[in-house]
């Protein structure tokens, strides 16, 4: 690490996090950096304690879970640890979306941060949590990124999804100040952001130039974006750098993608898996043998629903199942046994050669989005609309992007009562920015049907 890097890590960042903002993030991080090396039994005890506190709180303060316990004929005393969680029902996305009010705690914790999902399943979900949970989330992310060698203050190049375009609305003073603050924060942290939405030859060349100019010590990328970048680098023989660690997230990294990313940037490729509702769920370590779960702050189950009787059981190692998450740090609007819609393969129960006893997922199959093509033939991240819709979730109940064989696109939207001209302008600005030269038709519908598999596909490319 260079002088600025060590200054940032030792002085600036601690002063900013612990001093100016009075955040206990770094204390949480130090704790998590110790617990990661504890034996499994000790980790299970830590997790069980947090789980029992969450359940007692939910039973006392959260109407939705009071009813769930009553319907199951149990009380929190019947659940000693994560193995007993199967006694409670799974919370599906649709139910989660319809129970925001009923899952909000009446006491004991208050929602201080509100967000919504980008609607990977086409139906955005509004959720909230307390500030204390945010400290844990940030600390867990720092630990996970740290496994790839990423320390705060290092030069990082983010090839990542951008926020929503300004649309036709005039920027307000508040929005300008906000943008300035984000820019300032990123400069202090030395995070260089590049939008991965459109990935034509020109955009990929710009990323290569930025790598040569900025010498990033780590790349943080959407998985499919870095795969496109790597193919570009390998095909044109552009690599003139040593190994740069790559942290991938937000999408699935396929085995073939990993091969080419390693060719372009070296073998230090780390997959992360998270979702907006709880942030980092699991992270790959330097043994590169699956993703360790964030066990101190989450219970992550992989469950298989038996079709013949509707019951659910834990997946066996190597088996594909639904990801079911209990967030131990969100007491304000609890997620208990929440099926976020992703699928994962349960990991080997044995110890990892890295020495950490945190259990593992073998792989995550969720978050697969088709890639769109613009009028010039450039590849465009299928999730560009998700990123935008996360910011206007109140106005859109469901949506779907369909690219037809002639490359024209239909954007189907099931609006809520708050959908208006400014929302339409934001959507239009998005497709004008990313789908250059492609005719796009906005189609308002009442409902978007799920595919036979039960998943509502957000991005469909007709072939």
* Interface pattern 431-460 for Zn ion (x via CB under 5 A): ------------------------------
Phi, psi values for residue 363, rounded to 5°: -165, 160
Instruction: Tell me how far, at minimum, the Cβ of 289 lies from Zn ion, in Å.
Output: 6
Closer to Zn ion by Cβ: residue 143 or 412: 143
Nearest Cα to Cα of residue 369 among 230, 165, 228, 159: 228
Pairing relationship of beta strands 246-249 and 269-275 according to DSSP bridges: parallel
Nearest Cα to Cα of residue 360 among 419, 302, 292: 292
> According to CB under 5 A, which one of 162, 188, 354, 448 is a site residue for Zn ion?
354
- Whether residue 378 contacts residue 433, with contact meaning beta carbons closer than 8 Å, is answered with no
Interface with Zn ion, residue 288, by CB under 5 A: no
Closer to Zn ion by Cβ: residue 318 or 375: 318
Instruction: Tell me how far, at minimum, the Cβ of 447 lies from Zn ion, in Å.
Output: 44
Scanning 107-115, 199-207, 284-292, 417-425 for contacts with Zn ion by CB under 5 A, the matching segment is 284-292
Tokens of 379: 């590849």
Instruction: Quote the CA–CA distance of 341 and 366 in Å, as a whole number.
Output: 7
Instruction: Tell me how far, at minimum, the Cβ of 38 lies from Zn ion, in Å.
Output: 14
Site for Zn ion in 314-353 (CB under 5 A): 352
Question: Per DSSP, what are the bridge partners of residue 414?
Answer: 398
- Whether residue 373 contacts residue 407, with contact meaning beta carbons closer than 8 Å, is answered with yes
Closer to Zn ion by Cβ: residue 354 or 429: 354
How many residues touch Zn ion under the rule CB under 5 A: the total is 5
Closer to Zn ion by Cβ: residue 355 or 375: 355
Q: What are the CA-CA distances from residue 159 to residues 50, 119, 131, 249, 278 (Å)?
A: 35, 21, 28, 11, 22
Interface with Zn ion, residue 285, by CB under 5 A: yes
Tokens of 178: 């906000």
Instruction: Tell me how far, at minimum, the Cβ of 145 lies from Zn ion, in Å.
Output: 15
Closer to Zn ion by Cβ: residue 46 or 352: 352
Closer to Zn ion by Cβ: residue 162 or 354: 354
Site for Zn ion in 9-48 (CB under 5 A): none
* Residue 4 CA, distance from chain mean position: 29
Instruction: Quote the CA–CA distance of 430 and 150 in Å, as a whole number.
Output: 32
Closer to Zn ion by Cβ: residue 199 or 356: 356
Tokens of 306: 């038996």
Nearest Cα to Cα of residue 292 among 276, 303, 280: 280
Interface with Zn ion, residue 60, by CB under 5 A: no
Instruction: Tell me how far, at minimum, the Cβ of 153 lies from Zn ion, in Å.
Output: 25
Closer to Zn ion by Cβ: residue 14 or 149: 149
> According to CB under 5 A, which one of 287, 304, 320, 445 is a site residue for Zn ion?
287
Interface contacts to Zn ion, rule CB under 5 A = 285, 287, 352, 354, 356
């Amino acid at each position: 690490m260079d002088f600025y890097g060590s200054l940032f890590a030792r002085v600036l960042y601690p002063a900013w996090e612990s001093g100016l903002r009075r955040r206990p993030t770094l204390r949480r991080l130090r704790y998590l950096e110790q617990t990661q090396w504890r034996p499994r039994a000790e980790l299970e005890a830590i997790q069980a304690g947090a789980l029992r506190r969450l359940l007692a709180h939910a039973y006392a303060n959260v109407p939705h879970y009071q009813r769930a316990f009553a319907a199951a004929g149990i009380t929190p005393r019947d659940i000693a640890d994560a193995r007993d969680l199967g006694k409670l029902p799974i919370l599906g996305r649709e139910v989660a979306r319809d129970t925001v009010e009923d899952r909000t705690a009446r006491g004991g914790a208050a929602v201080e941060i509100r967000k919504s999902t980008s609607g990977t399943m086409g139906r955005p979900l509004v959720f909230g949590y307390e500030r204390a949970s945010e400290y844990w989330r940030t600390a867990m992310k720092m630990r996970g990124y740290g496994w790839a060698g990423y320390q705060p203050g290092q030069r990082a190049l983010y090839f990542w999804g951008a926020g929503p375009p300004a649309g036709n609305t005039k920027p307000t003073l508040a929005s300008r100040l906000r943008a300035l603050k984000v820019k300032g924060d990123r400069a202090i942290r030395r995070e260089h952001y590049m939008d991965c939405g459109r990935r034509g030859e020109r955009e990929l060349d710009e990323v290569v130039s930025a790598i040569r100019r900025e010498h990033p010590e780590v790349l943080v990328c959407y998985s499919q974006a870095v795969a496109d970048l790597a193919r570009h680098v390998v095909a044109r023989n552009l690599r003139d750098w040593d190994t740069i660690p790559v942290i991938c997230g937000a999408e699935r990294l396929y085995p073939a993608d990993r091969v080419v990313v390693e060719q372009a940037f070296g073998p230090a490729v780390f997959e992360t898996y998270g979702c907006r509702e709880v942030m980092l769920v699991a992270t790959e370590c330097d043994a590169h043998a699956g993703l360790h779960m964030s066990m101190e702050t989450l219970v992550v189950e992989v469950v298989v629903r038996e079709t013949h009787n509707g019951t659910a059981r834990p997946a066996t190692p190597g088996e594909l199942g639904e990801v079911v998450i209990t967030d131990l740090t969100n007491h304000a609007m609890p997620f208990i046994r929440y099926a976020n819609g992703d699928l994962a393969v349960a990991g080997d129960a044995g110890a990892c050669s890295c020495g950490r006893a945190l259990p593992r997922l073998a792989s995550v199959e969720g978050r697969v989005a088709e890639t769109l093509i613009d009028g010039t033939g450039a590849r465009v991240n299928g999730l560009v609309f998700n990123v935008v819709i996360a910011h206007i979730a109140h106005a859109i109940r469901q949506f779907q992007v369909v690219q037809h064989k002639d490359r024209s696109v239909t954007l189907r939207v099931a609006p809520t009562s708050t959908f208006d001209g400014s929302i339409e302008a934001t959507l239009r600005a998005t497709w004008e920015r990313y789908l250059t030269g492609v005719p796009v038709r906005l189609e308002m519908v009442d409902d978007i049907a799920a595919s036979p598999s039960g998943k509502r596909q957000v991005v469909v490319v007709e072939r």
